[in-house]
A = this chain, B = another copy of it.
Amino acid sequence: MLRASRAMATTKEAKLIDAFINTIENFIQLSDAEKQLLQSAVTRVDEVKKGQVINCEEERPSHVHVVVEGWAYRYKYAEQGDRAIVGYLLPGDMSDIHITLLDHMDHSVGALTPAKIALIPLETIREIYENHIPLSYAFFWSSLISESILREWFVNNTVRPADKRVAHLLCEMLVRHQLAGLTHDNSFHLPLTQAELSDAVGITPVHTNRVLQRLRSEEMISLDKKRLAILDLERLMQFAEFSPSYLHLSEAYLRRLSN
């Protein structure tokens, strides 16, 4: 029975590996044994619907979640029902590694699109902490990267006007999609609703709409049927004051980007 579920997991993990392991290897090279270990750590892969809650604020999840396919997002509601989107999770991103050391979620996580989510039991992660120090570095590292991204998001919403905020976010999304190999010619699938974009940059949907129109009319981007194309990356980055330093890209990735 245990064996069976292992086997099931194995067929799915190929996908987990593609994204998550790839991400980790931006930090350290993993041995085959370590990859295998991560593979077998996944006990389940859930298919969740758009909008479904994956982790709820205040709860204590029993598993750590990794996005395999689709988009998820971190969010928090303020009192009058205003939602702040605190981060987007792309394939390969971990949602809640904090929970191995903290006793409750301080935010919620939900699916922004239909998604596949891999689950790893907390105890497995704890075992890794004890016995596979390089891998625990990797978890710590990935958490530090999300902290750095969050910090830049904070700066974005704190000092920049609405149009630059949106532009900055789009630049980041482009780079992160490039890293994941999900772009063609600076264009990629952006499943966000204008309202979902708004909640990440802290402006009104109506205003987001007008900002996007301006970016389009100035021919920095085109956005149609959820496909975003960056038409003039140079100019967009400059306009947004975007510098990818905070993403802590490895040399290898920086090279990949410049192609």
Contact = CB atoms under 8 A, between A and B. Distances in A.
A25 interface: no
A195 interface: no
Contacts of A133: 129-130, 133
A98 interface: yes
Given A106-B246, A160-B78, A86 B140 contact: no
Contacts of A83: 159
Interface string A109-148: 0000000000000000000011001000100110111111
Nearest to A147: B147
A59 to B, nearest CB: 12
Given A160-B78, A241-B78, A150 B148 contact: no
A157 B157 contact: yes
A193 interface: no
A88 interface: no
A137 B144 contact: no
Given A98-B147, A146-B147, A150-B154, 14 more contacts: A27-B101, A76-B151, A76-B152, A83-B159, A84-B159, A98-B144, A98-B148, A101-B140, A101-B144, A102-B141, A102-B144, A103-B248, A147-B150, A159-B202
23 contacts: A74-B151, A78-B160, A79-B241, A83-B159, A86-B151, A102-B141, A102-B145, A104-B248, A106-B245, A106-B246, A107-B151, A129-B133, A140-B140, A140-B143, A143-B143, A147-B147, A147-B150, A150-B151, A150-B154, A153-B154, A157-B202, A158-B199, A159-B202
A2 to B, nearest CB: 28
Interface residues of A, number: 47
Contacts of A76: 151-152, 155
A234 interface: no
Interface string A68-111: 00000010101100111010000000000010011110110000
A151 B98 CA distance: 13
A245 to B, nearest CB: 6
A157 B201 CA distance: 10
B159 A106 contact: no
Contacts of A34: none
A58 interface: yes
